Amino acid sequence: MKDYALTIIAKLQISKPPHDVYEAIADPEKMKNYFIAASTGLMEEAKHLSWRFPEFDMDVPVRVGKMERHSYISYYWDNADKELLVEMTLEHRDSNATLVTVTEKGMDNNEAGIKWLKSNTEGWANFLACLKAYLEYGINLRKGAFDFMRQEVAG
């Protein structure tokens, strides 16, 4: 078996224009409605942020990479002392919809990498579903959804 870095790719179409989707991802006040509990600031190129998630009592360091208004967002975050790249592309579709593609890459093809692949693939699918529910219907699907994880970490 060839040794290579693992990559996650998740996609979902959202019935909103790229501008709305971009702002919902870059603005922490909007992100609080479907993804994070808190952020130390807006996503802007080269900015270092700290995100807190509602189900975990820890801060996650985020280093913002390249940002292209209404079409592309990238950032790096740590996973087990390894910095991973997350890229989000926003592609305009018919009927003012946006195809959102999330790519996360960088884990080694080993047991830890495969565990990450499974967990974060589920996570990005959930992220996209929560983003869609928030933007299209004003619903926060994440609220309370992962409270069991907080109990598992504490127990």
Residue 154 has pLDDT above 60, yes or no: no
- Domain boundaries of the chain, sorted by first residue: 5-154
Which tens digit of pLDDT belongs to each residue from 134-153? 999 999 998 877 777 766 55
d(CA 75, CA 106): 13
Distances in Å between the Cα of 53 and the Cα atoms of 5, 38, 86, 143, 149 are 26, 7, 17, 11, 11
Q: Are 33 and 20 in contact (CB under 8 A)?
A: no
First to last CA, the chain: 38
Which tens digit of pLDDT belongs to each residue from 75-119? 999 876 789 999 999 999 999 999 999 999 989 999 999 999 999
pTM comes to 0.90
pLDDT at residue 54 in the model: 83
- Beta carbons within 8 Å of 53's beta carbon, 6+ residues apart: 35, 36, 37, 60
Strand order across the beta sheet in which 72-79 lies = 5-14, 97-108, 82-93, 72-79, 59-68, 48-52, 38-39
The single-letter code of the amino acid at 125 is A
When pLDDT is cut at 50, 70 and 90, the band that residue 1 belongs to is very low
The single-letter code of the amino acid at 145 is A
DSSP assignment of 21-50 equals: HHHHHH-HHHHTTTT-SEESS---TT-EEE
d(CA 25, CA 44): 11
CATH of domain 5-154: 3.30.530.20
Which tens digit of pLDDT belongs to each residue from 35-78? 999 999 999 999 999 999 888 778 899 999 999 999 999 999 98
